[in-house]
Amino acid sequence: MDTFKKDRIAKAFVEFVEIVERLRGENGCPWDKVQTHKSVEKNFIEEVYEVIDAIECEEFSELKEELGDVLLQVVFHAQMAKEENEFDIEDVIDAISQKIVYRHPHVFGNVKVTGVEDVLKNWEALKKKEKETKSVLEGVPKHLPALIKAYRVGEKVAQEKLDWDTSEDVFSKLDEEIKELKYAKAEDREEELGDVLFTVVNIARKEDIDPHRALNKTIEKFANRVKKAEEMARKLHGKELEQLDRQTVEELYEKAKSI
């Protein structure tokens, strides 16, 4: 990167940090001044999901805006930590820079890799050494959405040979888990359902399918069909869908599937 570009980026970033600092300052915004790490926790989660929405829709102008919102969250948390004499934005950048260099010895060092698999193996080994973890699962965030968390746990334990050999093996396990759910006592059904869902996620992992994305696609598909059925109910029967009998509703839904 040329010096002029570096200077422009540095200037823009410093100005942005100063803007956030002013928001939290004595004459800043009343709302921003009273926020805490906990109070804006949900905001951070929402902003990340808005980034995902923009990526999925390939809306790059939206993506630019949403990435800015995520950056605001990062700088905002760093500013609050600075006020608490914990760390500042410079410490955040230094820490991530050191981590990236450390975990990419094939780029910044002399380690040789043959492909992505070697990179991932090295990454996990270095991460475990760096954090002195006793379990490969210690790096999985507790509050990840359940589908993503299940996928990550499956990936992690597979490194320790706790895995099925093939997808067919997992399908056999799924048949077993569904049978257990079907005949489970009422008090055991939640646990048995969890076993079924976890097994389904591991099928997705073995098939290299993102279960979070797959489920979202199905939800969207189902929602669109319901909306079409609702439109047909109004157009053909002059009624809302819920005012029609079960058979008519099912017929409209089947028609919606073919549109």
Question: The domain 133-209: what is its CATH number?
Answer: 1.10.287.1080
Residue listed under structure tokens 């009273």: 34
The rounded distance, in Å, linking the Cα atoms of 147 and 121 is 23
The rounded distance, in Å, linking the Cα atoms of 46 and 52 is 10
Per-residue pLDDT tens over the stretch 48-99: 999 999 998 899 999 999 999 999 999 999 999 999 999 999 999 999 999 9
The rounded distance, in Å, linking the Cα atoms of 99 and 209 is 29
Choose among 70, 66, 69: nearest CA to 57: 66
Per-residue pLDDT tens over the stretch 164-188: 999 999 999 999 999 999 999 999 9
Give how far Cα 219 sits from Cα of 116, 178, 223, Å: 32, 22, 6
Q: What token pair was written down for 134?
A: 């006793």
Q: Please report, in angstroms and rounded to a whole number, the separation of the first and last CA atoms in the chain.
A: 51
Q: Output Rg (C-alpha) for the chain, integer angstroms.
A: 25
Q: Indicate the residue type of 198.
A: F
What's the confidence (pLDDT) of residue 55? 93
Report the largest interatomic distance among the alpha carbons of the chain, rounded to a whole angstrom: 72
Residue 234 has what DSSP assignment?
I
> Is the fold of 3-102 the same as that of 133-209?
yes
Residue 104 has what DSSP assignment?
-
Q: What token pair was written down for 139?
A: 């790096």
Q: Which CATH homologous superfamily contains domain 3-102?
A: MazG-like (1.10.287.1080)
Task: List % helix, strand, coil for the chain (3-state, nearest 5).
Answer: 75, 0, 25
What's the confidence (pLDDT) of residue 36? 97
Q: What token pair was written down for 8?
A: 């422009």
Q: What token pair was written down for 192?
A: 């048995």
The rounded distance, in Å, linking the Cα atoms of 158 and 161 is 5
Under a CB-based contact definition with an 8 Å cutoff, are residues 160 and 124 in contact? no
Choose among 223, 210, 222, 198: nearest CA to 55: 210
User: Within 10 A of 103 (CB to CB), how many other CB atoms are there?
Assistant: 18
What's the confidence (pLDDT) of residue 138? 79
Under a CB-based contact definition with an 8 Å cutoff, are residues 122 and 111 in contact? yes
Residue 233 has what DSSP assignment?
I
Under a CB-based contact definition with an 8 Å cutoff, are residues 181 and 195 in contact? yes
Residues of the chain with pLDDT under 50: none
- Domain assignments of the chain as residue spans, ordered by start: 3-102, 133-209, 212-258
